[in-house]
Amino acid sequence: MRTTKIVCTIGPASASRNSLRRLAEAGMSVARLNASHGTPEHRRELIERIRTVEQNTDRPVAIIHDLPGPKVRTAPMDGTVHLDAGTTVEYVQGKTTTNDRIALSHDITAVESGDRVLLDDGRIETTVTDVSESAVTACVENSDDIGGRKGVVVPGVELGLPTITERDRRELRVAAEKEVDFVAASFVRDGDSVRAISRVLSDLDATTPIIAKVERGIAVRNLDDIIDAADGVMVARGDLGVEIPLESVPIVQKRIIRRCRDTGTPVITATEMLESMTSARRPTRAEASDVANAVFDGTDAVMLSGETAVGDHPVLVVETMARLVERVEDTAEYDDLRRQQAPEADSAQSDKLARSASVLGRDIDATAIVVATASGKTAVRAAKFRPSMPVVAATPSESVRRRLALSGGIVSGPPTETATSADDVIGNAVESALGTDIVSSGDRVVVISGPRNDDAGTGTSNLLKIHVASDRSSNARE
């Protein structure tokens, strides 16, 4: 079983029902919708299409609705404008770009002389030489063409952008209406940025989990606060590699993944993982090593962006990613690292129980840790301790099954029936595990469960049991 999950960005190359089905069959666990492109109506249609494919393939597929966030962009334009090295260019907030004046979506006059203004996410570098009340003058450092709606980054400068834009609010309404599984928050500064989005979702009567994208230097500095506020984290290396020195990105990536591992926070490693396969049929050796290192680091998921959104052969890319991940996970080095990466349990009873399940499972050579869970939280806790066997989540909730599709090391069994007793909870959980390709009748499993102590069937997990899996219907016939 592949432990690390694969996130696919859906775009023109992969949006058809047939393409989505093939992506799911190739290994896609999570579909990402980039709200920086397309229309809300298009995303509504795409969400419905993904749900249909999920039902037809009987594979949980989570949906991430990725918000545009507060980002400065060049104004829309027809064609491009050529910038020559050594010339000056003026930046203004506006709608019309000329050869020597670039219109931007937001004012950037908070900069000072000597600051860098990077166009097209770092492809063109300019250095500020003068700042007036309404314009910024800069020297162009390298020649290239700039087009409309390209990202503009000013490293290390707070430009006073809103935490949530009107466009974000519009997309959050779509996310709440269509009940997506995750919302990805772009360009967060700190935990308060995440909490602000959570409040908007709450006002929309939605409890959608939030994935915080760490793509700014200030976000790296506020990482603990962000992890505390968010339900997941994305190492968004594209913008991060413009905000901080490029040579620091691999180090920061490892630190973010390690911190998320220690707290049991799902983490995605993203950007340019198999970028060359946007057109090529094979990845570069460096890309293969990049994927392998993220898996060795303990990331929950690896993400494909343009490779599956606009690439020439998105299904082949996912198949390649799956093979790379599986090869790494089938090594003694990976097993050794997983054991080393297991954190200590915190003071919570459920945390200690989950860690004990991992140790017990290893000692008895269990096939799986089977977790009866209403919310999915206990399954995530069990996976946090990097057990050597899969965690099988047994839940009655389809939405929980989908949300767990992001968490590494967890497989969701078929939905369980409503239980009327603690014994039923365990029996249903084992029955669900038998519905996967992991557990067979006669296998020893470790079961984590708890009492039904409210109408929703949720409660604190307090039971750990060694169980021999068997089909209850077979027992009844005997």
What residues are annotated to the active site? 32, 73, 213, 271
Give burial (CB, 10 Å; 0-12/13-18/19+) of 247. exposed
Give burial (CB, 10 Å; 0-12/13-18/19+) of 96. exposed
User: Do residues 429 and 369 lie in contact, with contact meaning Cβ atoms separated by under 8 Å?
Assistant: no
What is the Cα–Cα distance from 427 to 299, expressed in whole angstroms?
32
The two beta strands, 368-372 and 444-449, are parallel
Secondary structure element (H or E) that encloses residue 256, with its range = helix 249-263
What is the Cα–Cα distance from 416 to 376, expressed in whole angstroms?
13
What is the Cα–Cα distance from 402 to 477, expressed in whole angstroms?
34
Beta-bridged to residue 392, according to DSSP, are: 370, 411
What is the Cα–Cα distance from 61 to 406, expressed in whole angstroms?
9
Q: Which residues contact residue 37 at a Cβ distance below 8 angstroms, ignoring those fewer than 6 apart? A: 11
| 213, 248, 269, 298 from 230: Cα distances, Å | 10, 24, 16, 19
User: What would the two tokens of residue 210 be?
Assistant: 């939030």
DSSP line for 209-244: -EEEEE-SHHHHHTHHHHHHH-SEEEEEHHHHHHHS
What is the Cα–Cα distance from 21 to 15, expressed in whole angstroms?
10
